[in-house]
Amino acid sequence: MKKLTFLLLLITFNTYSQKTKPIYGIVIDSLGVVNDANIYNKNSNIGTNSTQKGDFKIYCKLGDTLVFSSVQHQTKEYIIKESSFVSFNFKIYLNLKTYELDEFELKKHNLLGVLALDVSQVKEVENEISAVSLGLPNAGIPKLKPIDRKIYTASTSNGPIPLDLIINTINGKIKRLKKQKKILEDNADVAELYSEFKFNLGADFKIAKEDEYRFLYYCRSDSSFIAARSKTKYEFINFLKLKAKEFNQLKND
């Protein structure tokens, strides 16, 4: 009995096998090829998957139904026809799934309703309305430093005749203020240089500890300092090395 059953199954399988043929195809969507799509023959219970290039091979017979499915795509069924066996790369087009989003309220701003997250957004909104955007007088002009305000006050006056300018030029006030401004700028530049190069002064430039600030003021007094400072850091270091050589030479003479 067992032999007879096995023989019948073998005959059925051979009969089905004689009618099946390989089908070669490619699975695509609106973005290109679809890899790892599942292809399943509902009649023979045989399945396969598309390759990285989207192509596949599966054995079918006329009238079989192939089911194409993918996580990102809508399932599609395809009934095998005579023409299916002709082409080596017949195309199966899958539609991408569309997902409906939960309903949300469209607001006239980008705020989320969470204070911790909305603070930065509020700042941006506030910045959009400013003295510059409103076109107010003197809007956008950089704020003067205290010494510059003193020079401006000493150099300007109301009326057609600049009396303050004349008086302060004669008594030397404007000259003293400009000298004071240069001292303040020199001090600021030297403080910045010391903060940036304090570890290089002794090791790289051979400047004694007690001469560090004198050396930096010496560099600042050079007429080419501002131009050298505007160049790359490598070029400015070469400028400092040259000035260090001059400084140490003058000190030893």
When pLDDT is averaged across residues 49-77 and rounded to a whole number, the result is 91
- E strand map for the chain: 21-29, 32-33, 38-41, 46-49, 55-60, 65-70, 73-79, 90-93
Average pLDDT, the chain: 79
Gap between the Cα atoms of 66 and 96, Å rounded: 18
CATH of 19-93, one of 2.60.40.10, 3.40.50.300, 2.40.10.10, 1.10.3720.10: 2.60.40.10
Nearest to 64 by CA among 50, 44, 93: 44
pLDDT for res 102: 58
- What mean pLDDT is predicted for residues 65-90? 85
Q: Both tokens of residue 149?
A: 């305000």
Which pLDDT band, with edges at 50, 70 and 90, does 13 fall under?
Answer: very low
**Residue 252 has what pLDDT?**
82
User: Does pLDDT of 173 surpass 70?
Assistant: yes
Q: Looking at the predicted structure, is the pLDDT value of residue 205 above 50?
A: yes
pTM: 0.41
User: Is residue 81 classed as helix, strand or coil in its secondary structure?
Assistant: coil
Contact 212, 181 (CB under 8 A): no
Between 41-50, 147-156, 172-181, 219-228, the lowest mean confidence (pLDDT) is in: 147-156
pLDDT in tens, 95-118: 988 755 556 555 555 555 555 555
CA distances from 214 to 147, 189, 207, 251 (A): 24, 13, 10, 11
For residue 127, give Cα distances in angstroms to 72, 116, 122, 177. 44, 18, 9, 36
Q: What is the DSSP-derived secondary structure letter of residue 211? A: G
Domain ranges of the chain: 19-93, 146-252
Position 125 scores a pLDDT of 44
Q: Give the per-residue pLDDT at 27.
A: 93
Q: End-to-end distance of the chain based on CA atoms, in angstroms?
A: 122
What order do you get walking across the sheet with 46-49 strand by strand?
A: 46-49, 38-41, 65-70, 73-79
Predicted pLDDT at 32: 86
**Encoded tokens for 23:** 């089908």
State how far the alpha carbon of 188 is from the alpha carbons of 179, 184, 194, in Å.
14, 6, 10
- Which residue would you say has higher pLDDT here, 247 or 87? 247
pLDDT surpasses 80 at 127: no
Please check whether residue 233 is in contact with residue 244, taking contact to mean a CB–CB distance below 8 angstroms: no
* Angle in degrees, CA 149, 153, 159, rounded to 5: 145
Model confidence at 76: pLDDT above 90: yes
What pLDDT is attached to residue 186?
82
State the pLDDT at residue 39: 93
What's the CA gap between 195 and 177, in Å, rounded? Answer: 27
CB 39 within 8 A of CB 48: yes
Assess whether pLDDT exceeds 90 at residue 38.
Answer: yes
- pLDDT per residue over 209-246, tens digit each? 899 989 999 999 999 998 988 988 889 989 999 999 99
One-letter amino acid identity for 60? C
